[in-house]
A and B are shown apart, each in its own frame.
Chain A
Amino acid sequence: METTVQILLNIIVSASLFLLIGLSFSIIYYPTKFFYMAQAAVISFGAYFVFLFANIYSISFPISVTFSIIAAILISAATEVLVFRQMRKINVVHWAYLIASIGLYVIFQNCISLFFGDGAKIINTSEVTVGHQVFGARITTIQFITAFVSIALFIAVNFFLHYTATGKSIRAVSSNPELCNIYGISSNKIILIAFCIGSALAASAGILSAMDSDMTPTFGFNLLLYGVVAMIIGGVGSTRGLIAGALFVATAQHLAAYYIDTKWMDAVTYIILILFLIWKPLGFSGKQLKKVEV
């Protein structure tokens, strides 16, 4: 009984983190239609900037978090304006954006390695505690905060996308950019806003994860891939599918950890991704994928 509850709690915590990361990734995917892999670096940046401000400069924790998120937003906005906007002007092949974002990730991750070193670090907020008991299973305060914040942010962003003007503009640009430009919605501005929101979410995810377990310069990449898997499984167009996708990935991971071995968690995740890419390339949303553009 206790192990079941423990596994369930673990699943909920992991799923909410993947939900946040998947959301940060998909909100950039909607208007731009490419996979912004440098988001992995933004996740790491969130955590490392908090480390910089809180542990090195000894600024108070809430202010460090705010500064860190602002810094992550600035970096993402800069890459959008300096790199991707220029690429949109010359109409590059579709995969060039993906490769460029991988290049950016390499640059950013090595900058972090340069400044902070490759060793594992942790953001210290309080002393190590035993954690709260829930029906015999244990959950730490930070895990509870992770789940709570992720779900709250998800609901907030969903509300933003469906009920505010800017949010609706983002969805408009994602379905037809040219028509939006004709109607006076500047797709460049919308994309910039999407980048800012996406990187704020990603930085928060990085901070939450680093408060729970340690951080290395490359930890963002693994987290991002889990979020990408959740997004693809859930269906790239739908935010509700993201919930299903995140839950599915988290469940598969923790069941694999329990029944097989924790070292196979990664492999299981990607095997599931590949299976989904074969049979249901558009995920739970059930749409059919147009194979190639004519």
Chain B
Amino acid sequence: MEYILHIFILICFYTLLSQSLNLSAGFTGLISLAHAGFFGIGAYTTAIISTQFGFSFWLSIPLATLISGAIAFIVSLIALRTVEDYFIICTLGIQVIISSIMNNWMGLTRGPLGIPGIPSISFFSFNLDSKISFLLLSLFFVAIVWFLLLNISKSGFGKTLIAISEDEIYSQSIGKNVDLFKTISFTLSAIFASVPGTLYAHYISYIDPTSFTVNESIFVLSIVIIGGLGNLTGSFFASAFLVLLPEVLRFIGMPDGIAANMRQIIYGLILVGVMMTARNGFSELFPKRI
């Protein structure tokens, strides 16, 4: 039972990550490979300030989102001057730079040693230690973020983003400040990405740079693409699918040693398949963009 709760919590994390990436990649067309970096920034912020300064989790969420947003803003000033393919390579470079800083700035992040002993979250002096309480907390955050993203996507802002992803020059010609919208979208996406980072740090209580590498970015991007770009419900189902996939593999008797590699091979195959068929992933099943 504990393990099933753990799986559900993971699904919550990946839903948060993929929906936030969907805001930037799906709605605005800015396909970013730097998402694991912002995930990591959220995690490291809360880890550092709760282990070194003793602040509580509820204080570290706004701080983590601020720092993540600030770094994303600076990054977007640089990266948004490039287009399509070059933008993806640029965000890849940014992801590697963030990984490199996490790994090498020993004074701040303790490098590959990681930060242990992150305390669990307390809610009005009620310690959220058990998995079920953490699952409820995660579901709470998933609900909030999903609600916010839904409203953003239905608002005029969201419609402009979709317009930008479909035809940038036309949007600019009717007077929309394309650069401003892209910057806001990218920054918001990073802000939302740091939220699961803070949760993750308190859940696992130990973080190190290996959780926030390019591979993680590629995985989150695959979830977004497989679930359908611009489709929030699709992101949820795709996260559930890809998190449950290795469990299903284990169920049919695949030995643990190769399960991790097989899971990556399978999601790689699905990714290539989705790209080859030019369909919008799972959103074939949900025709509306929600």
Contacts and interface: CB of A to CB of B under 8 A. Distances in A.
Contacts of A95: 31, 84-85, 88
Contact of A270 (B94, B103, B104, B276): B94
A96 B262 CA distance: 23
Interface string A109-121: 0110110000000
Nearest to B91: A274
A94 B221 CA distance: 16
Counting chain B CB atoms within 10 Å of each CB, the highest count among A91, A94, A99, A111 belongs to: A99
Interface stretch (B9-17, B47-55, B75-83, B204-212): B75-83
A113 B260 CA distance: 10
A113 to B, nearest CB: 5
B89 A83 contact: no
A102 B222 CA distance: 10
A106 B100 contact: no
B111 to A, nearest CB: 9
B258 A98 contact: no
- Interface size on A, as a range, is 35 or more
- Interface size on B, as a range, is 35 or more
Interface string B84-103: 11101110111011001101
Contacts of B85: 34-35, 94-95, 98
A20 interface: no
A291 B78 contact: no
A174 to B, nearest CB: 15
A160 interface: no
Given A110-B261, A232-B89, A277 B275 contact: no
Contact of A263 (B103, B218, B222): B103
Contacts, number: 125
Contacts of B225: 99
A273 interface: yes
Given A35-B89, A96-B278, A99-B221, A263 B272 contact: no
Contacts of B78: 274, 277-278
A229 B93 CA distance: 9
Contacts of A278: 78, 81
Contacts of B104: 261, 263-264, 267
A86 to B, nearest CB: 6
A107 B275 contact: no
Interface string A81-96: 0010011001111111
A34 B89 CA distance: 11
B136 interface: no
A292 B100 contact: no
B271 interface: yes
Contacts of A270: 93-94, 96-97, 100
Interface in B52-83: 78-79, 81-83
Interface string B260-288: 01101101110110011110000000000
Given A95-B84, A107-B269, A291-B83, A114 B261 contact: yes
B230 to A, nearest CB: 13
A156 interface: no
Nearest to A99: B275
B148 interface: no
B169 interface: yes
Contacts of B82: 277, 281
A103 B89 contact: no
Interface in A101-149: 102-107, 110-111, 113-114
A103 B281 CA distance: 14
A31 to B, nearest CB: 15
Contacts of A292: 83, 168-169
A27 interface: no
A91 B268 CA distance: 21
A12 to B, nearest CB: 25
Contacts of A274: 78-79, 90, 93-94, 97
Q: Which 8 A-B pairs have the closest CB atoms?
A: A103-B271, A106-B268, A270-B93, A107-B268, A100-B275, A267-B100, A103-B272, A110-B261
Given A107-B272, A110-B264, 17 more contacts: A86-B276, A96-B278, A102-B218, A107-B264, A107-B268, A221-B214, A225-B93, A229-B93, A232-B86, A232-B89, A261-B104, A267-B96, A267-B97, A273-B90, A273-B93, A277-B81, A278-B81
Interface of A: 34-35, 83, 86-87, 90-100, 102-107, 110-111, 113-114, 221, 225, 228-229, 232, 261, 263-264, 266-267, 270-271, 273-274, 277-278, 281, 289, 291-292, 294
30 contacts: A83-B272, A87-B275, A90-B277, A90-B278, A91-B278, A92-B275, A94-B84, A95-B84, A95-B85, A97-B275, A98-B88, A99-B221, A99-B275, A100-B272, A100-B275, A103-B271, A106-B218, A106-B264, A107-B264, A110-B262, A110-B268, A113-B261, A263-B100, A270-B93, A270-B97, A274-B93, A277-B86, A281-B82, A292-B83, A292-B168
